[in-house]
Amino acid sequence: MSRTGLFISFEGIDGAGKSSHIKALADAFSAQGREVVLTREPGGTPLAEKLRALLLGDAMDPLTEALLAFAGRRDHLVQVIEPALARGDVVLCDRFTDATFAYQGAGRGFDRAPLAQLERLVQTGVAPDPAQLREPDLTVWFDLPAEVAAERLSHARLPDRFEAQPLEFFRRVAQGYADRAGAAPQRFARIDANHARALVWQQLEAVFAQRGWLPAAAGQDPQ
């Protein structure tokens, strides 16, 4: 019996802790017999990874950042995401378009209207229905106060040029995510990331169990 593909994105400011849970969710889906594609943005294809290196390392204005992000996203959709969904796979993507609205839109202060135009241009014409705007079926938003994220990042590796931004930048990014979630509440699931890892994992289990995608306690708490 063929299965319908699932496209799930994970969002949050740097330091929110989302990445540590994605692999555990992949393992939980695999345990249910699903094929899982783990991917990320910026990146996900050889071309998009080259653009990621430019985005994270080279100084540029917000429009250039947005154009590079959407260029990589188009290649990612065409080469990885859409074929996986057509096969019936589960696609777990560390960040997607909401990050561009949060970082370049809210964080950098770039006009959201051109971002919405780019979103429409890049994310249509890839699904079986050419008029469909390809969006995640679910976006898991790891909501964390900017001050807590900054404290976590202070103990991390050498930061890239986004992680090295001042606290006020991350406050704007966090608000950008809140605005996106408020505009699409049916797509977003908010996770309170200001807790110990085990409690964050319990919230994730509840989100996926509620949708019938995984049984309760399907995965292991990532240590």
Report mean pLDDT in 10-residue bins for the chain, 223 residues.
Answer: 86 84 94 96 98 94 96 98 97 98 95 96 94 96 89 70 85 95 97 93 95 76 55
What is the structure's pLDDT at 2? Answer: 60
Residue 16 marked as a ligand binder: yes
Q: Residues 222, 198: contact at Cβ < 8 Å?
A: no
What is the structure's pLDDT at 152? Answer: 74
Residue 107 marked as a ligand binder: no
**CATH superfamily name and code, 6-211:** P-loop containing nucleotide triphosphate hydrolases (3.40.50.300)
Q: Residues 141, 188: contact at Cβ < 8 Å?
A: yes
State pTM to two decimals.
0.92
Residue 19 marked as a ligand binder: yes
What is the structure's pLDDT at 157? Answer: 62
Residue 14 marked as a ligand binder: yes
What is the structure's pLDDT at 115? Answer: 97
For the chain, domain boundaries: 6-211
Q: What is the dihedral of CA 134, 98, 179, 154, to 10 degrees?
A: 160
Residue 2 marked as a ligand binder: no
Q: What is the dihedral of CA 27, 101, 76, 221, to 10 degrees?
A: -10
Sign of the CA dihedral with 155 first, then 158, 163, and 167 last: positive
Residue 17 marked as a ligand binder: yes
